[in-house]
Amino acid sequence: MSTNTTMYEHDVLVVGAGGAGLRAAVAAHEAGADVAMVTKLHPVRSHTGAAEGGINAALREGDSWDLHAYDTMKGSDYLGDAAAIETLAKDAPDEVIQIEHWGMPFSREDDGRVSQRPFGGLSFPRTTYAGAETGHHLLHTLYEQVVKRGITVYDEWYVMNVAVTDEQDPRDRSCHGVVAYDVQTGEIAGFKASGGVILATGGPGQAFDHTTNAVSCTGDGQAMAYRAGVPMEDMEFVQFHPTTLPSTGVLISEGVRGEGGILYNKDGERFMFEHGYANNDGELASRDVVARAELTEVNEGRGIEDEYVHLDMRHLGEERILDRLENILHLARDFEGVNGLEEPMPVKPGQHYEMGGIETDEHGETCISGLYAAGECACVSVHGSNRLGGNALPELIVFGKRAGLHAAGQDLGEPTLTTGRTGDEEIGEVDSPVTLGEAGITAGPATDGGERDRAADGGATLADADAIISRAVDREVERVEYLMNKDTGVQHAEIRAKVQKAMTRWVNVFREEEGLKKALEVIREAREEYADVYVADPSKTFNTDLQMTYETRNVIDVAEAITVGALAREEFRGAHWRKEHQERKDDEWLKHTLLDWNEGSPQLYYKPVDLQGEEKEYEPKERSY
Amino acid sequence: MSTQVPEQQAEETEAEQSAQAHEQTPQQKRQDKKRERQEDAAKRLQEEEQRREMDADDTYHLKVFRFDPEVAAKQEPRFDDFYVPFEKGMTVLDALMYARDHYDSSLTFRHSCRQAVCGSDALFVNGSQRLGCQTQLSDLEEPVRIEPLPHQDVVKDLVVDMEHFYEQMHSVQPYFDPEETPEGEQRQSKENHEKIKMSTRCIWCAACMSSCNIAAGDNEYLGPAAINKAYRFAMDEREGENRMQERMEIVEQNHGVWRCQTQFSCTNVCPKDIPLTEHIQELKREAVKRNLKFW
């Protein structure tokens, strides 16, 4: 590392400052660690703020954690892991009370208790909420606690890579920190973490062009962990939210349907019932069911303008709408020019949530020691092949906290879930029309090249940690110099747009073999173009051109992982629909997809689902609503 | 630095040139699309006609403030012209993203959620503070003049230094801090929740601070957003009476609520419709009620 490079040192580093990151930081701080957050956005800008609906927690009489766990397992189409799901369901009530004690402005009942409402796929109305802006309040409440504790926040610092050793077997590797650059000044610095690095970088929605996700949701943490040797788990399971505004992808909360909103097709039919998509639950069926129903209506000519359906909430009355869904009126007005009190709102499915992600155990740890993940970027796996509405926010606080505690050295017991390759794993195959993986990135490879450094005793000493971070810093310095000095080639915007378009066209709600292969071809093209990418903006000051160029590489990696998983999985489960394979095949496919970067030549393998709950075994049943 | 630079009739910028060079492609595409639509749309003729009317002026003309302390050509603040093909529903943010992605990748602005909740893209658009993502181009006079928030230091192009704003926000003890915490759920009356509801909507965009004359003249003034944050906690019954007293002392400091001259500029620009001025006034009344010494 060059002599003028700064090295910041802390016990625990949290990358990303949305709900999971903030909760992790507070937990690690309370466990006595010196914590710092490194985040490309100021914390209050994080995308948790856009979550609308609520937080599922079994708080009330008549409800119980095992009902929450059962609903979640059923919703996951039996691809969630019991240990993860039961941890979520058991910890959620205390965690909700905890954030209530931190001042979260929950909506209230007449007796002053926290309100709960029905949500899709739930057997009890257990979604606690704060209007239709629950995520905004959760984000600000947690950030306030970070401010209260004086936790260090390096905001507008973009993490370029994790500093991980590169033993042959990823399970022998360890993470010692990150390399980041200060967006405001362009300074590249090393960050050392003696306890652990927690990735809480959110989802990869920007792999698609019609998404509810922020422009910042580029899958950075997933791609960095993946290239460092942590497998990506179940990436093919992408949730398409049934109610997004057609022109922008802005989300209209499931809360609208929870409060009684109705979906109509062009002919004014309440199609969820009238066309038999969900005879019991109608609009409140699981999200994947509703999204497919809407697109089927459109494809069969019953959509409005051949594009969308109507979501009508007028019958709820102005008072109730203003009380519980006021934010929806603003969104419909500002982004679609529609008055939700007077007319139905146009909606269509849009990419919303990535069920898969960085494989972790229930303490948030990956197979690389010292490297953690929590929140949407992680896959514990709670959501399996389909996430229930209201289950993302409790995941942030439950598993964010656990990761924070564990990284700070607290003993959480032996995890039930395994991580990394076991040696006897089932190897998968995918019939890809193109080569997968790295297509020759010049200068500053991540962990996929260069000298292997193996500590003789197998463990890294402190001096090693410095060397590992220095080497990682040097690589990024070299890479940035290369990108900035190059003055011709392809620009990130072109490559990113190409990938996004292909993903929305071919890796959407309905998936066919041929289309998935086409998507892989386009992703390959994008990879080859990326080898020729350059940064046109010559400035070190707030160079978003450089940042987006880095992000685009991550977008490509996650897009490929999603598509590979989707092509390989020849069944229909949860959010993953395949034209050629119209049923769930438990005999063959009751297993998690894992994709190992394998030094740039991705390799698929599978591991069994954990269906053994603490008190009972979950038996896969037909999932009907 | 001030963003009010005299407009220069500079030689054609690179951005302009490339803007013109690229203009054909998107336009061409749009016209193709239009043709397709016409073919199948006898029944939607009426609607289509409206659409064509809206599309009539094909492009929107943006004048965007540019500055970069490091780049020779941008050290002297200037305005660049961009011509962006218009689509129905296009926002100021959409137009900026289009200009950046198609014409000039160095065009710099903060943005993230695109739905008025992250608070990143407060800008000075045609002379008022607005969120880029929440502002429809069709509501604006051309050329659309886009500048960074006034009264804040410019880092580059449309990006301002937010440090001072964050410091003011942090200075009011912006965290829930009750005297007592019960074992289980802490109750809050519906009325009290309703009372603080609007104040909790703040997205820290700093539009209010930028619009405030007092804040412009008094760097230590807490400003509308920070006072609103203090209001949010002071009025929350769950914290308790003693805590409220302490919070009142914070807002009553020299550069606190009494600086406000009730001009309503903050309230007028708030993208979340928070009645900021009213909140400040209510704190003043509360202070008087408590008969505290003030300056």
Give the residue extent of every domain in chain A: 7-200+215-232+353-423, 243-350
**pLDDT score recorded for residue A439:** 84
Segments forming the whole domain that contains residue B80: 14-41+55-158
CB-based contact (8 Å) between A123 and chain B? no
Please list every residue in chain B whose beta carbon sits closer than 8 Å to the beta carbon of residue A112: 187-190
Is the pLDDT confidence value at B15 over 90? no
pLDDT grade, residue A456 (50/70/90)? very low
d(CA A296, CA A313) in angstroms, rounded, equals 22
CB-based contact (8 Å) between A428 and chain B? no
Among A139, A593, A577, which residue's Cα sits nearest to residue A375?
A: A139
- B112/A336 CB distance under 8 A: no
β-strand pairing of A188-199 with A371-373: parallel
Per the domain annotation, does B2 fall within a domain? no
Per the domain annotation, does B8 fall within a domain? no
Per the domain annotation, does B49 fall within a domain? no
**pLDDT score recorded for residue A458:** 46
Is the pLDDT confidence value at B46 over 80? no
Is the pLDDT confidence value at A152 over 90? yes
Is the pLDDT confidence value at A265 over 70? yes
pLDDT grade, residue A335 (50/70/90)? confident
Q: Which of A102, A111, A144 sits opposite B174 (nearest CB)?
A: A144
pLDDT grade, residue B89 (50/70/90)? confident
How confident is the model over B180-208, as a mean pLDDT? 96
- On whether the CB atoms of residues B105 and A493 are closer than 8 A, the answer is yes
**pLDDT score recorded for residue B42:** 45
- A49/B176 CB distance under 8 A: no
Residue B209's domain is classified under what CATH number? 1.10.1060.10
How confident is the model over B108-121, as a mean pLDDT? 97
- On whether the CB atoms of residues A15 and A200 are closer than 8 A, the answer is yes
- On whether the CB atoms of residues B39 and B45 are closer than 8 A, the answer is no
Quote the crossing angle between the two packed helices A220-228 and A544-568, to the nearest 10°.
70
Q: b/e per residue, B29-39, with b = 16+ CB within 10 A?
A: eeeeeeeeeee
Among A272, A288, A285, which residue's Cα sits nearest to residue A239?
A: A288
More confident residue, A288 or A409: A409
- Integer CA distances (angstroms), B70 to A187, A543, B74, in order: 14, 11, 8
Say what the alpha-carbon torsion angle A548, A553, A559, A565 is, to the nearest 10 degrees: -150
Per the domain annotation, does B100 fall within a domain? yes
d(CA A534, CA A557) in angstroms, rounded, equals 18
Measured from the Cβ of residue B51, the count of other Cβ atoms closer than 10 Å reads: 15
How many C-alpha atoms does A398 have within 13 Å on its Cβ side? 26
Bridge partners, residue A179, by sequence: A161, A190
CB-based contact (8 Å) between B29 and chain A? no
Q: How far is the first Cα of chain B from the last one, in angstroms, to the nearest whole number? A: 32
Is the pLDDT confidence value at B23 over 60? no
Per the domain annotation, does B50 fall within a domain? no
Domain range A7-200+215-232+353-423, CATH architecture = 3-Layer(bba) Sandwich (3.50)
pLDDT grade, residue A300 (50/70/90)? very high
Is the pLDDT confidence value at B142 over 80? yes
- B203/A136 CB distance under 8 A: yes
Instruction: Note the Cα A182 to chain centre separation in Å.
Output: 24
CB-based contact (8 Å) between A538 and chain B? yes
DSSP summary character for residue A438: -
Is the pLDDT confidence value at B132 over 90? yes
Residue A415 neighbours by CB under 8 Å, 6+ apart: A83, A361, A362, A363, A365
Question: In this structure, are B69 and B24 located in the same domain?
Answer: yes
Residue B126's domain is classified under what CATH number? 3.10.20.30
pLDDT grade, residue A307 (50/70/90)? very high
d(CA A107, CA A568) in angstroms, rounded, equals 44
Instruction: Note the Cα B125 to chain centre separation in Å.
Output: 10
- At position B49, the amino acid (one-letter code) is E
Q: Which of A47, A145, A336 sits opposite B113 (nearest CB)?
A: A47
Residue A202 neighbours by CB under 8 Å, 6+ apart: A16, A18, A46, A47, A48, A213, A216, A217, A221, A375, A376, A377
Is the pLDDT confidence value at B111 over 50? yes
Please list every residue in chain B whose beta carbon sits closer than 8 Å to the beta carbon of residue A535: 105
How confident is the model over B161-188, as a mean pLDDT? 96
β-strand pairing of A232-233 with A238-244: unpaired
3-state secondary structure of B132: helix
d(CA B2, CA A421) in angstroms, rounded, equals 58
Q: What sections of chain B are H helices per DSSP? A: 14-40, 45-55, 92-102, 163-170, 190-197, 207-211, 213-217, 223-234, 241-251, 265-269, 276-289
pLDDT grade, residue B292 (50/70/90)? low
Question: In this structure, are B197 and B212 located in the same domain?
Answer: yes
Say what the alpha-carbon torsion angle B89, B93, B94, B95 is, to the nearest 10 degrees: 100
3-state secondary structure of B221: coil
- B118/A49 CB distance under 8 A: yes
> Which of B54, B65, B94, B113 has the most A C-beta neighbours within 10 Å, making it the best mutation to test the interface with A?
B113
pLDDT grade, residue A170 (50/70/90)? very high
How confident is the model over A438-449, as a mean pLDDT? 54
d(CA B278, CA B270) in angstroms, rounded, equals 13
Please list every residue in chain A whose beta carbon sits closer than 8 Å to the beta carbon of residue B185: 59, 97, 100, 113-114
Question: In this structure, are B197 and B123 located in the same domain?
Answer: no
Is the pLDDT confidence value at B294 over 60? no
Is the pLDDT confidence value at A173 over 70? yes
- At position B251, the amino acid (one-letter code) is V
- Helix or strand (DSSP H, E) at A350: strand A345-354
Per-residue pLDDT of B235-247, as tens digits, reads 999 999 999 999 9
Q: Which of A456-470, B159-173, B250-264 has the lowest mean pLDDT?
A: A456-470
- At position B14, the amino acid (one-letter code) is E
Q: What are phi and psi of B168, to 5 degrees?
A: -65, -40
User: Closest Cα of chain A to B191: distance in Å?
Assistant: 9
Q: b/e per residue, A529-556, with b = 16+ CB within 10 A?
A: bbeebbbbbbbbbbbbbbbbbbbbbbbb
Q: Which residue has the tokens 């709600």?
A: A509
% of chain A with per-residue pLDDT over 90: 89
Structure tokens at A404: 């924070």
Q: What sections of B41-162 are H helices per DSSP? A: 45-55, 92-102
Strands (E), A388-476: 426-427
Question: In this structure, are B134 and B264 located in the same domain?
Answer: no
Per the domain annotation, does B273 fall within a domain? yes
Question: In this structure, are B208 and B136 located in the same domain?
Answer: no
3-state secondary structure of A22: helix
Measured from the Cβ of residue A430, the count of other Cβ atoms closer than 10 Å reads: 20
β-strand pairing of A7-15 with A35-39: parallel
Measured from the Cβ of residue A583, the count of other Cβ atoms closer than 10 Å reads: 10
- At position A240, the amino acid (one-letter code) is F
Average pLDDT, chain B: 85
Question: In this structure, are B172 and B267 located in the same domain?
Answer: yes
Average pLDDT, chain A: 94
**pLDDT score recorded for residue B291:** 66
**pLDDT score recorded for residue A327:** 87
Give the dihedral sign, CA A501/A507/A510/A512.
positive
Question: In this structure, are B141 and B233 located in the same domain?
Answer: no
DSSP summary character for residue B187: P
Q: What are phi and psi of A192, to 5 degrees?
A: -100, 140
CB-based contact (8 Å) between B201 and chain A? yes
**pLDDT score recorded for residue A583:** 95
% of chain A with per-residue pLDDT over 70: 96
Which active-site residues of A does the annotation give? 287
Structure tokens at A542: 């707030």
Q: What share of chain A is helix, strand, coil (3-state, %, to 5)?
A: 35, 20, 45
How confident is the model over A329-340, as a mean pLDDT? 90
In degrees, rounded to 5, the angle at the alpha carbon of residue A123 between the alpha carbons of residues A120 and A128 is 65
Q: What's the full length of chain B, in residues?
A: 295
Say what the alpha-carbon torsion angle A184, A186, A190, A191 is, to the nearest 10 degrees: 10
**pLDDT score recorded for residue A115:** 96
Please list every residue in chain A whose beta carbon sits closer than 8 Å to the beta carbon of residue B108: 537, 542-544
Q: b/e per residue, A371-387, with b = 16+ CB within 10 A?
A: bbbbbbbbbbbbbbbbb
Question: In this structure, are B28 and B129 located in the same domain?
Answer: yes
Per-residue pLDDT of A366-375, as tens digits, reads 999 999 999 9
Per the domain annotation, does B7 fall within a domain? no
Q: What are phi and psi of A164, to 5 degrees?
A: -125, 145
CB-based contact (8 Å) between B114 and chain A? yes
**pLDDT score recorded for residue B227:** 98
Is the backbone of residue A317 left (phi > 0), alpha (psi -120 to 50) or beta? left
Per the domain annotation, does B1 fall within a domain? no
Per-residue pLDDT of A30-80, as tens digits, reads 999 999 999 999 999 999 999 988 999 999 999 999 999 999 999 999 999
**pLDDT score recorded for residue B58:** 84
**pLDDT score recorded for residue B162:** 98
More confident residue, A285 or A142: A142
Per-residue pLDDT of A484-500, as tens digits, reads 999 999 999 999 999 99
Please list every residue in chain A whose beta carbon sits closer than 8 Å to the beta carbon of residue B186: 100-101
Question: In this structure, are B136 and B241 located in the same domain?
Answer: no
Structure tokens at B254: 């020299």
CB-based contact (8 Å) between B71 and chain A? yes
Domains of chain B: total: 2
Structure tokens at A411: 């003993």
In degrees, rounded to 5, the angle at the alpha carbon of residue A557 between the alpha carbons of residues A556 and A558 is 95
Bridge partners, residue A365, by sequence: A372
pLDDT grade, residue B48 (50/70/90)? very low
How confident is the model over A527-536, as a mean pLDDT? 96
Question: In this structure, are B253 and B216 located in the same domain?
Answer: yes
- Helix or strand (DSSP H, E) at A236: none
Among A152, A29, A70, which residue's Cα sits nearest to residue A400?
A: A29
Among B245, B239, B238, which residue's Cα sits nearest to residue B289?
A: B245
Per-residue pLDDT of B247-284, as tens digits, reads 999 999 989 999 999 999 999 999 999 999 999 999 99
Instruction: Note the Cα B21 to chain centre separation in Å.
Output: 32
Spell out the SS3 assignment of A281-325: CHHHCCHHHHHHHHHHHHHCCCCECCCEEEEECHHHCHHHHHHHC
How many C-alpha atoms does A240 have within 13 Å on its Cβ side? 30
Per-residue pLDDT of B56-67, as tens digits, reads 558 999 999 999
Per-residue pLDDT of B200-239, as tens digits, reads 999 999 999 999 999 999 999 999 999 999 999 999 999 9
Q: Which of B71, B97, B118 sits opposite A539 (nearest CB)?
A: B71
- B203/A97 CB distance under 8 A: no
- A247/B89 CB distance under 8 A: yes
Q: Which of A136, A215, A537 sits opposite B114 (nearest CB)?
A: A215
**pLDDT score recorded for residue B38:** 41
Chain A segment 158-217 residues within 8 A of B by beta carbon are 184, 214-216
Per-residue pLDDT of A185-227, as tens digits, reads 999 999 999 999 999 999 999 999 999 999 999 999 999 999 9
**pLDDT score recorded for residue B87:** 85
Structure tokens at B21: 């060079």
Question: In this structure, are B153 and B273 located in the same domain?
Answer: no
Quote the crossing angle between the two packed helices A392-407 and A134-148, to the nearest 10°.
20
User: Closest Cα of chain B to A535: distance in Å?
Assistant: 8
- A103/B159 CB distance under 8 A: no
Is the pLDDT confidence value at B45 over 90? no
DSSP summary character for residue A35: E
CATH code of the domain occupying A243-350: 3.90.700.10
Is the pLDDT confidence value at B51 over 90? no
- B189/A184 CB distance under 8 A: no
